Amino acid sequence: MEIKANTYQDNGAASLTASIIGASGYSGAELTKILARHRRVKIGGLFANSLVGKRVDEVHPWLHGDILALYEAYAPELIEKSDVVFIALPSGEAMKFVPELLDRGKKVIDLGGDFRLKDPALYRKYYGRDHTATDYLERAIYGLPEWNRAAIAAGTLIANPGCYPTSALLPLMPLLKESVIAGRGIIINSVSGTSGAGRSASVDLIFSEVNESVKAYKVGTHQHNPEIRTVLGSVAAEDVSLTFIPHLVPITRGIYSNICAPLNSDISEGDVAAIYDAYYADAPFVRWSSTAIPEIRGVAHTNYIDIGVRVDRDNGQIVLLSAIDNLVKGAAGQAVQNMNILFGFEETEGL
């Protein structure tokens, strides 16, 4: 059977065309899977320069039956009919594409870190390279849907949040906004599955290196440090300081965050419940509990974040526990959630 590069399933109800640059990586493949079942979307192009001519379902067998297509080499003329372009490439790559895509009138959702920070100096410090598209930084909307729906809906360039930041920001932001917790002395311990590092081969990530072990990495230097601090600072009544320690654990997908923050006053579980209920009443993917303990298996392959809350009065602390799938709510799922808002679809469509 001959397969043409532009042969995709289309149920006839699609109202927009979406393309993916970097479609063969873990986040790109997850994005492909979600878009393939999205009734309002037709996939216009799957670009993966290193795998040109390869069948999508040969590289990712679990897409067999969903996508009948070949990976293509990116060329600007191939996205002419696309309404939205997702960029699922490592940081440092999106800024090479964004100016031209926006100039061509495309809406862009970047899953990497190139447009999450407004300050080029912070980008240089934590990402180790100069930003080459600084004129576009102010146009970028931070795509945390539960906090930024209106801006996302009016945007053209959406900076999809990082996976670790998503797991920390959603539990912390309501409490900081209401001054329930102090902005200083926040500690975030997070663990991540190995898919968070991407699909490229690395000795540190092979099975025999990560199995039966846990290790911290990039302590104090992780690129998500300034992202978490900056976004929290935007809702806090005071300067925010925090300690963020990421860890690698021998699982494929998932992020689990254990967060401790000092209380500003004695607060009851009922008061905390009222705050979360108020802020996330219209957030279809946020689930929180003052009794249940989140688990990664409870959110794997979904766009949910599960949040557990405990008030530790004896030590004047609040303990927050969160779990997400790093490839879905931490990447592709949140990107589609942003797309749904951007084009006026139901926020849960395809998810």
Q: Which residues are catalytic?
A: 163
Q: CA-to-CA distance for 232 and 173, rounded, in angstroms?
A: 6
> 102-113 as b/e, with b when 16 or more CB fall inside 10 Å?
beeebbbbbbbb
Spatial contact of 226 and 300, defined as CB atoms under 8 Å apart: no
Token representation of residue 278: 């108020």
How far apart (Å, rounded) are the C-alpha atoms in residues 329 and 285? 9
- Residue 121 CB neighbours (<10 A): 11
Angle between helix 145-153 and helix 333-342 axes, rounded to 10 deg: 40
Residue 200 to residues 50, 101, 204, 218: CA-CA distances in angstroms?
Answer: 11, 26, 11, 19
CA–CA dist 54, 97 (Å, integer): 23
β-bridge mates for residue 323, sequence order: 256, 306
Structure tokens at 202: 């690395």
Kindly list the distances between the CA atom of residue 153 and the CA atoms of 66, 163, 172, in Å, as whole numbers in the listed order.
29, 21, 24
Count of residues for the chain?
A: 351
Q: Judge contact between 3 and 315, C-beta under 8 A.
A: no
Pairing outcome for strands 255-262 and 317-324: antiparallel
Beta bridge partners of 237: none
